[in-house]
Amino acid sequence: MPLLMKLLVQRIALGLLLLLLVSVLIFWGTNILPGDVAQSILGQSATPEALANIRKELGLNEPAISRYFAWLGGLVQGDLGTALTSGQDIAASLGSRLKNTLFLAFWAAVVAVPLAIFLGLLAVRYRERWPDKLISAVTLASISVPEFLIGYILMYFIGVKLGWAPTVSMIHDGMSLGQKLNSIALPVAVLTMVVLAHMMRMTRAAILNVMQSAYIETAELKGLTMFTIIWRHAFPNSIAPIVNVVMLNLAYLVVGVVVVEVVFTYPGMGQYLVDHVSKRDVPVVQASGLIFAAVYIGLNMVADIVSILANPRLRHPK
């Protein structure tokens, strides 16, 4: 098997193994949570007989290992189980929620990724001058502030004082694209500020590393402008680490939206997860946690694969 194909297969197998281990951790973690699931469903006034019956009905009396493999078998077949508190199919409920979360993450990425690359290129162009220092200071300040605080600040000034965007980000299928974008403007702004600094600084560092190469000096001797050198020679050769950090931040945009969704009451997976954690609805928590883990591991795996494919020594071993 060629070296490149072998590395790709290894990365995919490692990702699947890691997802299996995460499923064990999620199942074990939800089962050691304090409290009684049956008690939380029936309430404090439930009789011992009623509690015993619902524990038997839900399979809570079965050994943990048996319940895990039954849950894992259902996952392989696409069955995420049934919510304990509502009786609804979890897969159907999570479908629309996941779509909303991906919609929010997609538009945050549309804004954040080009802006981060542009600011990184600008910082390299004016390295060690005031634009570079200003960009670094502003982005570092934004990443140092907690997401919920940024959300409440934007909500107060932009939503309440100026009235430019709604403070509650509710979307539904009957809304047009423009209405949806207006509704998610504030959470998109928060997510952009959170991931912008990391991507911008990685872009800057990757390009500066390439700028020390000999062919960059040759391009300078040819009389090319600094912007042309950065854009046409340095940036394409530093794309691998940039893509890697972009993928990692895209994973964060999907997995790290929980706080932002709760702040803006956005109907995504994060809000859905928090609602059912408070109800101690274990199957929903398990399914949501595993989907978040799958997205994060999947995007990290894509980042690894892109890094492998971008390595010319692996693509051309001879």
Q: Where are the domains of the chain?
A: 99-278
Q: Is 80 helix (H, G, I), strand (E, B) or coil?
A: coil
Give the pLDDT of residue 132: 80
Cα torsion for 213, 214, 216, 219, to the nearest 10°? -170
Residue given tokens 């060690």 in the structure block: 128
CATH number assigned to the domain covering 99-278: 1.10.3720.10
Instruction: Point out the least confidently predicted range of 35-39, 118-122, 146-150.
Output: 35-39
More confident of the two residues 134 and 276? 134
Q: Tokens 């193994």 sit at which residue?
A: 17
Residue 274, amino acid = V
Burial label for 163, CB within 10 Å (0-12, 13-18, 19+), is exposed
Integer Cα distance of 122 and 95 in angstroms = 40
Which residues make Cβ contacts (< 8 Å) with residue 236, sequence separation at least 6? none
User: What is the per-residue pLDDT for 317?
Assistant: 54
The rounded distance, in Å, linking the Cα atoms of 243 and 8 is: 17
Specify the pLDDT at position 33. 66
Say whether 82 sits in a helix, a strand or coil: strand
pLDDT at 256: 74
- Helix ranges (H only) for 269-311 are 269-278, 282-309
Which pTM does this prediction carry?
0.79
> Cα(84)–Cα(282) distance, rounded to whole angstroms?
8
Task: Give the residue among 81, 63, 46 at the shortest CA–CA distance from 291.
Answer: 81
Name residue 105's beta-bridge partners.
Answer: none
Confidence of residue 61 (pLDDT cuts 50, 70, 90): low
* Position with higher pLDDT, 84 vs 167: 167
Mean pLDDT, all residues of the chain: 79
Count CA atoms within 13 Å of residue 40 on its CB side. Answer: 16
Report the alpha-carbon distance of residue 318 to residue 313 in Å, rounded: 8
Nearest alpha-carbon partner for 207 in 143, 311, 122, 308: 122
Q: How many Cβ atoms sit within 10 Å of the Cβ of residue 80? A: 23
